[in-house]
Structure 1
Amino acid sequence: MAFRRPEVQFECDCAGEAHIMRIEIGKMARDPSYKTKSKTHVCFHCSNIIRHARRCGGCDVVIYCSVECSRAAWKDYLNADGQIMDGHKRMCAIVKNQMLKFPDYAELATQFSWTIKIGKGYYADFALASKGLYGCGPSFGWWTEPSCVARDTRTLYLHRETPYTEKQGWKLPDEEMPWLEFDPSKGKVPPQRIVDFEDSWTSYYEWRGLPMSSPAAFRLHWPLTIYRILRELGIKPGTVDNRKTIKIHLVGPENRKELAILPVFGELALLFPYSDLRMTLISEETFLTVSTARRRSLARQPFAYKYTAPESIGGGSIHITLDSQNRVYAPFGYGEIPDVIIGLHAGLTNPEWIPVIHGSIRLDIPFAVTEYVETCMSVNDDALIKTVLPEGLRALTEHAPTETEAIARFEQAMLIPERKRIFNTFMCPGLHWPQRSLLPYAHNSWIYIVHTKTST
């Protein structure tokens, strides 16, 4: 994401971006016909940053900087890393079909009156800027813009020695706060009944006692997406008579996303009553966050975050551990076998996911990921899985032929023509500004089921 540099000087690019967005919002408010020109795009082919973009004539979606780039990317081609890239000739019909989903994204966003529409889409950055929640550093709590966090590890939340209070994290009026530390005498009241809402932000807000004026969904989509994935994979909470422990391996978390807002995941303790969630975070960035942290920091504690919900709504708990030993994850040989593996915005085409795919099937561990756009699943993820499953089956047959059940699971997995994908109604309620194409592009907008448990 890039902007024209403002004439005035700001402490960082995030502050400059927020300033320009506020100006653009004002112009749109005064003139409904005004079209914002504050953001740039990236060429689909050469990755050059461009302002005046050319669009594909077939789908009017994919963006190029020149006629030459559009021609070069029409058929399959090799990128700078020597990888074979799908040409736009193959993708044109797919992305054209994906544009038909725009009304679904718009309908989801219109549950909130403060979302800001630009063209066909409602955009998250502009909505946050309009409410003064777009910036960086501790003064912005959970809303801190990640690009600055990525450059300066001193601002990392997990490198602090003391956690934010809820007020410091959320930066919202009391009535718009999704409180976890409840105090009825101060109006901080827990939900009045154990989990009971439909798959919509409106229904969830009603259950949670939040007004629709609250922008909390822009951060709550992270735990709500995990809640939706667990339900889809058949992982249910415990009961009054049978409390459950649910072990989750969250793979690939980043400092600019999940690691920056760990206390927001406390919401899962409300969503899974009579359950003890044990979530382990595993990634290169998790490893580096712990290894560069001081001894007394949150990152170095036995649990980077823990929370227990009130008994009145089931007393669920969550304990989050940062894996300080492993930069990459492979289920087979890890030591602990989880109940589920989850990757938020996984990007399955990255090679580090191959052992995760193989291991989840071999050990029969449910595995699901999220994506920004459906085309990633159609073009990339399905193709990858069809390629790597035969490799896993061949390796298992050669080196562990006695694992007949695992071999049967691989054979069964290879027969699935297309893996299940779900439009996530608990996604981020605003789109992110399009970069390489004008596709609807939002955090956690699609759930992709890689493997479901086959044995009992």
Structure 2
Amino acid sequence: MTVQVDNHRMRTSESSMECAGKGRGTRCIGPARRRCARCGAVAYCSVSHQISHWKDHKEECERLEQQMKRVDELNDFPFTFSEEATLRISEKEGSRCSFLNTRGIHGVGMWKCECTCGASSASLDYARFESNSWDLPNSLCPCRGSSYRLSKELRNWQEYYEWRCIPLHSPIALLLHWPLTIYYAIQVAGLSSLTSEISKLCIHYLGPEKELLQLAVFGELQALFPGVQVHIDLIGPAIPEHRDGEKKDIWNYAHCIESDCDCKSESKNISRSMDTGTTSGVMLRFHRGFYHDRFRDIIKDSLPHLVIAPNAGIAAFSSWLPTLVSLLYS
């Protein structure tokens, strides 16, 4: 099952799209700020690139126009960004920087890429800046396992916050939308019942970017899928060359800032299924490059239950086309 999600709703005004005419003989002259007047789904750096791309774009412009009319509906995807946790931003009463600054997490650890003044994901040395801490007190973050197992599927952020006993003003949704999007995609794909029957869940995660600085948040999948070993292959050009082929095991939850919290004890922090006693865990494996180039090698170990692309922006990134073709015909 393949799911494509665009998790950039809160960032559309903060970052430019890739020029849809990129790589057509001449270099881009700047940011892609010139959108197609009809569909608004693709952008260009110049008039010349827009003209050169038209012969390809005209075939899909009408379809994209219809999709863009549903943008408000698409923005209601339940586990992208929490309105409760970002209320001041959504109502334009403050900036992302001020939101983070008032909570003491501006430019810190996993939050480093969460505003426009922070380091860009492309410029980061992930080995140096990767963090396993929320930089928040334990009352505001899920630094330990859940006190009880879910009895029904989560439908929105409010239900998640209540389950994890965290107040709605906590900013954790800004980072947890990565694992919660996986959780929701499992539901959409009709795989929820499967997770109670298998011991290993295999996911191909395409196009990771700033998630590479926030890997510790994927530890929350232990609480969402108790008793299941979650194996995630992260594939994309943003993977640093020195991490290509690397494996990373996550047995703990991201830590809080309180020194006396038992989340610092690995023996107490390992997640176990309350029914079977089996240990949950998350294994990440990194692959540098495009999915269509690496697919054959990756599936030698096992086929995925789910292929997901949280940062896809497929309509505006021509580099995704070969990947789509490989998914359709594989």
Range into which the TM-score falls when normalised by the shorter chain: 0.5 to 0.7
Alpha-carbon shift at residue 105 of structure 1 (Å): 4.4
Task: Measure, in 2, the Cα distance between the counterparts of 1:300 and 1:352.
Answer: 16
Task: Look at both structures and tell me which one has the larger radius of gyration over its CA atoms.
Answer: 1
| Structure 1 partner of 2:109 | 141
Describe the superposition over 1:312-331 as per-residue Cα deviations: whole angstroms up to 9, x where unpaired: 687563334455xx957xxx
Question: Comparing both chains, which one has the higher relative contact order based on Cα–Cα distances under 8 Å and sequence gaps of 6 or more?
Answer: 2
Find 1:319's aligned residue among 275, 281, 288.
281
**Superposed CA RMSD:** 4.5
Is residue 172 from structure 1 mapped to residue 136 from structure 2 by the alignment? yes
Query: Would you say 1:384 and 2:319 are equivalent positions?
Result: no
Q: Aligned equivalents of 2:181 and 2:14: distance in 1? A: 31
Q: Distance in 1 between matches of 2:190 and 2:231?
A: 16
Pairwise CA distance, 1:310:
6.0
Q: Does the aligned pair in 1 maintain the 2:206–2:234 contact within 8 Å? A: yes
Rounded to whole Å, the distance in 2 between the matches of 1:385 and 1:290 is: 21
Consecutive unaligned residues in structure 1, runs of 5 or more? 1-35, 76-86, 158-162, 182-189, 292-298, 329-345, 390-456
Letter of the 1:319 partner, please give it. Answer: G
2:58 partner SS: helix
Contact 1:247 1:277 in 2 (8 A): yes
CA distance in structure 2 between the partners assigned to 1:288 and 1:103 by the alignment: 40
Matched, 1:44 2:20: yes
Partner of 1:28: none
Take 1:319 and 1:110, find their aligned partners in 2: how far apart are those partners?
Answer: 26
Identify if the C-alpha distance between structure 1 residues 141 and 352 changes in structure 2 by more than 3 Å, giving closer, same or farther: same
Identify which of 162, 181, 184 aligns with 1:206.
162
1:436 aligns with none
The one-letter amino acid of 2:170's match is: S
Aligned twin of 1:220: 176
Letter in 2 for 1:222: W
Give the equivalent residue in structure 2 for 1:368: 307
CA–CA distance in structure 1, aligned partners of residues 29 and 251 of structure 2 = 40
Query: Under a length normalisation based on structure 2, what TM-score does the superposition of the two structures give?
Result: 0.63
Q: Contact 1:176–1:210 (CA<8 Å) still a contact in 2?
A: yes
Correspondence 1:28-177 to 2 at 5 A: 43-46=19-22, 47-50=28-31, 53-75=33-55, 87-107=56-76, 111-112=83-84, 114-115=86-87, 116-117=89-90, 126-127=95-96, 130-132=99-101, 136=107, 140-145=108-113, 147=120, 150-152=123-125, 155-157=128-130, 164=132, 169-177=133-141
Q: Secondary structure at the match of 1:210?
A: coil
Distance, in Å, in 2 between the alignment partners of 1:37 and 1:387 is 32
Whole-angstrom CA distance in 2 between matches of 1:369 and 1:300? 19
Q: Does the alignment pair 1:352 with 2:310?
A: no
Give the deviation of 1:384 after TM superposition: 0.5
Deviations 1:393-444 (A, max 9, x none): xxxxxxxxxxxxxxxxxxxxxxxxxxxxxxxxxxxxxxxxxxxxxxxxxxxx
Distance 1:128 1:267, change over 3 A: farther
Separation of aligned partners in 2, 1:351 and 1:43: 22
TM-score with structure 1 setting the length: 0.48
- Report the 3-state secondary structure (helix = DSSP H, G, I; strand = E; otherwise coil) of the residue aligned with 1:170: coil
Q: CA deviation at 1:117?
A: 3.9
Which digits, 9 at most, give the CA deviation of each residue in 1:214-253, with x for residues without a partner? 22112212222332344435354777xxx85214355567
Mapped partners of 1:311, 1:367: distance in 2: 22
What residue number does 1:33 align with? none
Q: Percent identity?
A: 22
Q: Which residue number corresponds to residue 185 of structure 1?
A: none
With over 3 angstroms needed to count, the CA separation of the structure-2 counterparts of 1:45 and 1:211, relative to structure 1, is same
Query: Does residue 268 of the first structure (1) align with residue 244 of the second (2)?
Result: no
Gaps of 5+ in 2: 1-11, 23-27, 114-118, 253-268
- Amino acid aligned to 2:171: P
Equivalent residue of 1:266, what SS? helix
Whether the aligned pair in 2 keeps the contact of 1:196 and 1:207 (CA below 8 Å) is: no
Q: Secondary structure at the match of 2:180?
A: helix
Q: Against the structure 1 CA distance between its residues 195 and 313, is the aligned structure 2 distance closer, same or farther, given a 3 Å change threshold?
A: farther
Please say if 1:288 is aligned against 2:246: no
Matched, 1:279 2:235: no
Shift of 1:270: 1.6
Give the structure 1 partner of residue 116 of structure 2.
none
| Alpha-carbon distance change, 279 to 386 in structure 1, aligned in 2, over 3 angstroms | closer
* C-alpha distance 308-286 of structure 1, shift in aligned 2 (>3 A): farther
Matched residue count = 281
Give the equivalent residue in structure 1 for 2:271: 309
Match of 2:191 in 1: 234
CA distances 1:131-190 after superposition (whole Å, capped 9, x unpaired): 227755xxx122122636844355243xxxxx74xxxx2123443212316xxxxxxxx4
